[in-house]
Amino acid sequence: MSIPFFPPDLFDVEELLDLVHEVGTAPEQRFILGARTAEFESAMRESLGVADAVACGSGTSALTLLLHALDVGPGDEVIVPAYGCAPLAATPVLRGATPVFADVDPWTMVVDPVEVEKLVTGRTKVIMPAHMFSVMADMPALRRVATDAGVRLLEDSAVAQGGVLAGRPAGTWGDAGVFSFVQVKTFGMPGEGGMVVTGDPALGRAVRMLRNHGQDGRTRFLHHRVGHNSRFDELMAAFQLRRLEGLPGRLERRARIGDHYTERFTGLPGVLPPPPGRDGRCFYVYSLLAEHRDDLRDHLAAAGIGSHVYYRDPLPAQPAFAAYAPDRDWPGARHACRRQLAIPVYPHLTDAQVEHIADEVRRFALSRGAR
Length of the chain equals: 371
* Angle at the Cα of 280 from the Cα atoms of 79 and 81, rounded to 5 degrees: 20
β-sheet bridge partners, residue 305? 3
Query: Would you tell me how many other CB atoms lie within 10 Å of the CB of residue 65?
Result: 28
CATH number listed for the domain at residues 247-370: 3.90.1150.10
Any residues with CB less than 8 A from the CB of 119 and at least 6 apart, and which?
Answer: 79, 100, 102
The residue among 173, 113, 134 whose CA lies nearest residue 275 is 134
Give residue 371's pLDDT: 56
Closest by Cα among 164, 168, 185 to 236: 185
Buried (b) or exposed (e) across 72-110, using 16+ Cβ within 10 A?
A: beeebbbbbbbbbbebbbbbbbebebbbbbbbbbbebbb
Fold agreement (13-244, 247-370): no
**Looking at the domain 13-244, which fold is it?**
Aspartate Aminotransferase; domain 2 (3.40.640)
- Angle, vertex CA 253, rays to CA 252 and CA 259, nearest 5: 85
Give the whole-angstrom CA distance, residue 368 versus residue 75: 51
Nearest to 192 by CA among 235, 155, 132: 235
Q: What is the pLDDT along the chain (371 residues), one digit of tens a residue?
A: 799 999 887 888 888 899 999 998 998 888 899 999 999 999 999 999 999 999 999 999 999 999 999 999 999 999 999 999 999 999 999 999 999 999 999 999 999 999 999 999 999 999 999 999 999 999 999 999 999 999 999 999 999 999 999 999 999 999 999 999 998 899 999 989 999 999 999 999 999 999 999 998 888 899 999 999 999 999 999 999 999 999 999 999 999 999 999 999 999 999 999 999 999 999 899 999 999 999 999 999 999 999 999 999 999 999 999 999 987 899 999 999 999 999 999 999 999 999 999 999 999 999 986 55
Domain ranges of the chain: 13-244, 247-370
pTM of this structure: 0.95
Spatial contact of 66 and 207, defined as CB atoms under 8 Å apart: yes
Dihedral, 240, 244, 246, 250 alpha carbons, nearest 10 = 80
Position 240 scores a pLDDT of 95
Query: What is the DSSP code (8-state) at residue 340?
Result: E
What is the Cβ-side half-sphere exposure of residue 30, based on CA atoms within 13 angstroms? 13
